[in-house]
Amino acid sequence: MQTNYFNSMLELKPIQHFDLFDLPKAKILIIYTGGTLGMDYDENGSLQPCGFDQILRRAPVAKELQINLSVISFETPIDSSKVELGHWQNMAEVIHEHYDQFDGFLILHGTDTMAYSASALSFMLEGLNKPVIFTGAQLPIASPRSDARENLVTSLEIASDKKDGKPIITEVCIFFNNVLLRGNRSKKVESERFDAFESENFPVLAKAGIAIEYQWSYLRPFTDQVLKLNTAMDPSIAVLKLFPGLSETTVEHIIQAPLVKGIILESYGAGNVPHESWFLDLLKSGVDSGKLILNISQCNGGRVLHGKYQTSGALNRIGVLSGADLTTEAATTKMMYALGQFNSPSDRKICLTTSIRGEMN
């Protein structure tokens, strides 16, 4: 087992408790990282991050859910474009530390890197059997047309829902715009509409309308596993996205970069790549030098099928791994996880090509 590459002991505020009920339906811990949802106007009329008590004032219906809430916040709220491995480790450690005290966890997070964070936490939290729901907003909660209130309230309801005394959701998810998605199957696809996230390669887990309609056949069943925290991740990776006109010099620079241990190859369609000998030779040289190369599709939907077309048939022969239907977000975080958790090349390859958290078919 390798060591962590980042110091994850970030500044956190003391936990705030909003114990509104003597016999609550559930106890939920909210981890407030920042993002658009938690923005309110200051005395000068400018938007700035606000405290959770202000968020509750903007969404008073949350107090009607028969839930006792506790909130732990980053000392300095961050824009999600600034998220780093240390933040992922910190969120996972908070959940692990308080796991037995709460029925579920809600992470308020900016939308830009939410799918990366949800994917990363899904790998870090092995044996999870409680809900960890990410949500955020496209408009600040202070905006009259904000989607923040609905996303917040419904996420809390889902995080607290049980069947036969057991949590209905037992994995890391994203709730946004009335749909619940598996976290490591999600990606952000819109910057100007409320339906910001999609999961093209895996069905929606729940839809929120008049009632919350769970898609039971796609939910992970409750288990009695003990939560295990695996925060070691190695970010020594690169993403090589193919495009017409990509030069040999650029590919060579990425493949031969001395500090890069793993490469996510974003290929065309079902895994197709240029058939020029220089391109395949460079990939082979990378594999032969011990680098992991994982092939995923640039398409939002579909999967890599090595050998379906002639241009992808050579990849298996030179040792490039198929990423099947992994998203870029899941592929990058899983590569970091594989490099951080395992020393053996064979163990790393097994990890990358096997579904360990429902992230691939």
Identify the CA nearest to 194 among candidates 115, 138, 110: 138
Residue pointed to by tokens 């899983």 = 334
Q: Which amino acid is at 4?
A: N
- Reported as a pLDDT band with limits 50, 70 and 90, residue 47 is low
Token pair in block for residue 299: 């398409």
Those residues whose C-beta lies under 8 Å from the C-beta of residue 296, and which sit 6 or more positions away, are 264, 265, 266, 267, 304, 323, 324, 326, 327, 328, 331
Between 34 and 288, residue with greater pLDDT: 288
Identify the CA nearest to 309 among candidates 281, 275, 264: 275
Those residues whose C-beta lies under 8 Å from the C-beta of residue 144, and which sit 6 or more positions away, are none
Q: What DSSP assignment string belongs to 43-87?
A: TTS-EEE--HHHHHHH-GGGGGSSEEEEEEEBSS---GGG--HHH
pLDDT the model gives residue 141: 81
For residue range 221-275, what is the model confidence (pLDDT) as tens digits?
999 999 999 999 999 999 999 999 999 999 999 999 999 999 999 999 999 999 8
pLDDT the model gives residue 36: 81
Contact 142, 41 (CB under 8 A): yes
- In this structure, the strands spanning 125-126 and 228-229 are antiparallel
Overall average pLDDT of the 171-192 stretch: 96
Overall average pLDDT of the 65-80 stretch: 88
Token pair in block for residue 282: 């460079």
| Whether pLDDT at 9 is above 90 | no
- In this structure, the strands spanning 237-241 and 206-208 are unpaired
Overall average pLDDT of the 332-359 stretch: 98
Enter the DSSP assignment of 159.
Answer: H
pTM of the model: 0.93
The H-assigned helical ranges of 98-166 are: 114-124, 148-160
- Reported as a pLDDT band with limits 50, 70 and 90, residue 321 is very high
Report helix angle 114-124 to 328-341, nearest 10: 40
Contact 286, 292 (CB under 8 A): no
Overall average pLDDT of the 289-299 stretch: 97
Overall average pLDDT of the 209-216 stretch: 96
| Whether pLDDT at 2 is above 60 | no
Collapsing DSSP to helix, strand or coil, 110 comes out as coil
Average pLDDT score over the chain: 91
Catalytic residues: 36
Domains of the chain: 16-229 (3.40.50.1170), 237-353 (3.40.50.40)
Q: Rg (Cα) of the chain, in Å, rounded?
A: 21
Q: CA 188, 190, 192, 194: dihedral to nearest 10 degrees?
A: -80
For residue 294, what are the CA distances in angstroms to 47, 79, 173, 199? 42, 29, 24, 20
Report helix angle 310-318 to 277-288, nearest 10: 20
Enter the DSSP assignment of 272.
Answer: B
